[in-house]
Amino acid sequence: MTASIYDFSPAGIDGTPIPLRTFEGKVLLIVNTASHCGFTPQFEGLEALYRNYKDKGFEMLGFPCNQFGAQEPGDAQEIMAFCTTHYDVTFPMFAKIEVNGENAHPLYQFLKSEATGLLGTQAIKWNFTKFLIDRAGHVVSRHAPGDAPAGLAKSIEKLL
């Protein structure tokens, strides 16, 4: 059994594996994202959280996903161009992944097993589901797509 998220090395947006151990000792917010979703404006709030807390031991990790309404159809370059042009995203973005089903990325299999959703379901329901991770790499909480990023500030502060 995997002990923490530090055992994973997902591909960065450029395809290079990024060991999550790189972020050991930091509070993390891991989010599955999409460029053409009703929740896409959350990039603004996510970036605000990142800029507010990044110098205090916080990291935001974005994982584009096209499993919900095909709302992330672009390739890596298109995704980064969209994120930087429209929302000035500076937090790390990773390669597009699947979060549900038999091809779900092992990181998301782990996250879902550690923090279930409403009524104990494991499946990710939509884009912008958020997982808050403590400095030891343990999943602290799971937040629904509709939960505004600003609403997570107090939880992040407690972990910092």
- Catalytic annotation, pick one of 13, 18, 20, 37: 37
Q: Which residues contact 77 (CB under 8 A, 6 or more apart)?
A: none
Beta strand 130-133 with 139-143 is antiparallel
Instruction: Look at residues 54, 34, 37, 31 and name the one whose alpha carbon lies nearest to residue 111.
Output: 31
- Catalytic residue status for 37: yes
Cα separation, 20 vs 153, whole angstroms: 22
User: Which are the catalytic amino acids?
Assistant: 37
